[in-house]
Amino acid sequence: MKRDIAQLSGKVYDALIIGGGIYGAWAAWDAALRGLSVALVDRRDFGSATSSNTMKIIHGGLRYLQQADFGRMRESIRERKIMMKVAPYLIHPLPFLMPTYGHLMKGKEIMSIALMINDIVGFDRNWLSDPQKHLPGGLVISRDQCLRLLPGINQKELTGGAIWYDCQVYNSERMILSVLRSAEKAQAVIANYVEVTGFLRCGNRVIGVKARDVLTGDEIDIRARVVVNTTGPWVNEVLRVLNGNYSVPRILLSKAINIVVNRRLIPEYAVGVSSPFEFKNGDGIVNKGFRLLFIVPWHEYSLIGTTYVPFDDSPNNLSITEGDIQNFIYEINRAYPAASLKRDDISFFHCGLLPMDGVRGGEVRLTRKYQIWDHTKFDGTEGLISVIGVKYTTARAVAEKAIDLVFKKLGKRSPMCLTNVTPIYGGYIEQFSDFLTQETGKRERELDRDVIRHLIYNYGSEYHRVLKYINDNADWKQTLDASSRVIKAEVIYGIREEMAQKLTDVVFRRTELGSGGNPGDTALKTCADIIAKELGWNEYRIQSEIEEVKAAFSTLT
């Protein structure tokens, strides 16, 4: 991907996507695959806001049984299967375990029925040619089995456990980048660090946007027949620049927090444990009583989430406080005392904003259903669509519906969507396990097998494009420090081919260097020095960029 700001103002696009998170990325690729001329801009880096705050779970909607919402279950199961097919190097099966208590709503009997229904609704979940992507059926286990798998769990009234399978995304940031690269290969024009400052209008019709290059300060006009607003929590602020004249409902926001623990608390299973704080679910046919927290193994870490706090401020002011972290530690230690977490165990934390319906009984009630707004129906504004997403898993399906609407507004017949059958960039792998074994066995460039494995899990079938830079400089085959699997060639690749502009872009999104916590001074300095040579930074800029990365690992207040 090449950042060419001049190209953005050189034509009238069929569709302009504002926002480069997971929803915007899928929308751009879908529109480009269907033959539309497409541009996409993001005010910061791609996937740097809400899309980066994820538990890495691609789930099949088991929880929707609570509302007997089989339609949403089917949608989630379908999208989970599609993700395994089009992104085989990033999406992998993950077993889940939930202890059962008593013989009522949290009991083994009810969970047994729920798992049976889940398997029936997901009857086609294994209609995939790759056996590595097959998900076993759910089952219940005995009390003793549960205690062996989950030592330290509360044993009072424990009757056993329920096991089912969902999926995990290995690197959610690289997922977004791969979808964007797919869009770019389909002729979409993409740029990060381009901020929308206003709308271009002709009467009651939006005909594009006024924008500013954040890196240079240059102002440009980007013209489009339809503008699609996928800015997530910034949707209110983006719409406010329509002269303050819009009548769509204001989106209420909640702060969603996940924490990263510096070790695997439970090695093989993602585990659901009940929060000690009661939760009254207003839209369910049953009251589950307590909110679930999930402890999820991911790389060598554990992800724990999610806790929600009402947020009534500009998304630009989002931060995590030390109080947020301490409250979360207290809650998880109450839910699973064996964790015995201390502040030093927290290596990183993720924070994002999600739409909520409100607060009831002291608990945030998240919005469960995505929304696609045709502004013609709300305020008479033609040429503008806003998308309010709620789930990473179903972003592709929502983008498909949004692009269907784009075609309708263009007065064109909508061709068939192809993102459900077309592998994303790096996804041309028929049998993942066979590919992994074959490629690691080659020992390309005499690299360690673990490094090759790391590259395949991040770049898939395109990992050779990273290795080609070693031909230019043999030193680039070296890792950034002794404890890292990230090689220097990945940094070069991120800058030259993936539009990385800052150290934060490389540390948090182009590579997995900072995914689980601060990689240390040596790795950061090595990484910054490589970027400096590529982009012409002086020593002051190098230190400034390093300090910006370090600040991301610290609470702000």
Q: Which residues, 6 or more positions from 257, have their beta carbon under 8 angstroms from its beta carbon? A: 53, 305, 306, 307, 308, 309, 320, 324, 328, 349, 350, 351
252: which 2 tokens? 């209420």
Q: What integer pLDDT is reported at residue 444 of this predicted model?
A: 85
| pLDDT per residue as tens digits for the range 406-449 | 999 999 999 999 999 999 999 999 999 999 999 999 988 889 99
Q: What integer pLDDT is reported at residue 253 of this predicted model?
A: 93
Beta strand 252-261 pairing with 194-202: unpaired
Q: What integer pLDDT is reported at residue 288 of this predicted model?
A: 42
Q: Which amino acid belongs to residue 36?
A: L
In the predicted model, residues of the chain with pLDDT beneath 70 are 242-249, 277-290, 555-557
Angle at 113 between CA 110 and CA 118, to 5 degrees: 125
| pLDDT per residue as tens digits for the range 31-82 | 999 999 999 999 999 999 888 888 999 999 998 998 889 999 999 999 999 9
Tell me which residue has tokens 């529109």: 31
CA–CA distance, 75 with 98 (Å, rounded to integer) = 23
CA–CA distance, 280 with 361 (Å, rounded to integer) = 7
Angle at 385 between CA 382 and CA 390, to 5 degrees: 160
CA–CA distance, 517 with 35 (Å, rounded to integer) = 41
537: which 2 tokens? 């930074």
**Phi, psi at 213, each rounded to 5°:** -75, 110
**Phi, psi at 290, each rounded to 5°:** -135, 145
Q: What integer pLDDT is reported at residue 378 of this predicted model?
A: 80
| Buried/exposed code over 198-226 (b: 16+ C-beta within 10 A; e: otherwise) | ebbbeeeebbbbebbbeeeeeebebbbbb
Q: Which residue, 501, 535, 550, 502, is CA-closest to 3? A: 501
Q: Which residues, 6 or more positions from 244, have their beta carbon under 8 angstroms from its beta carbon? A: none
Q: What integer pLDDT is reported at residue 43 of this predicted model?
A: 96
Q: What integer pLDDT is reported at residue 443 of this predicted model?
A: 85
CA–CA distance, 326 with 324 (Å, rounded to integer) = 6
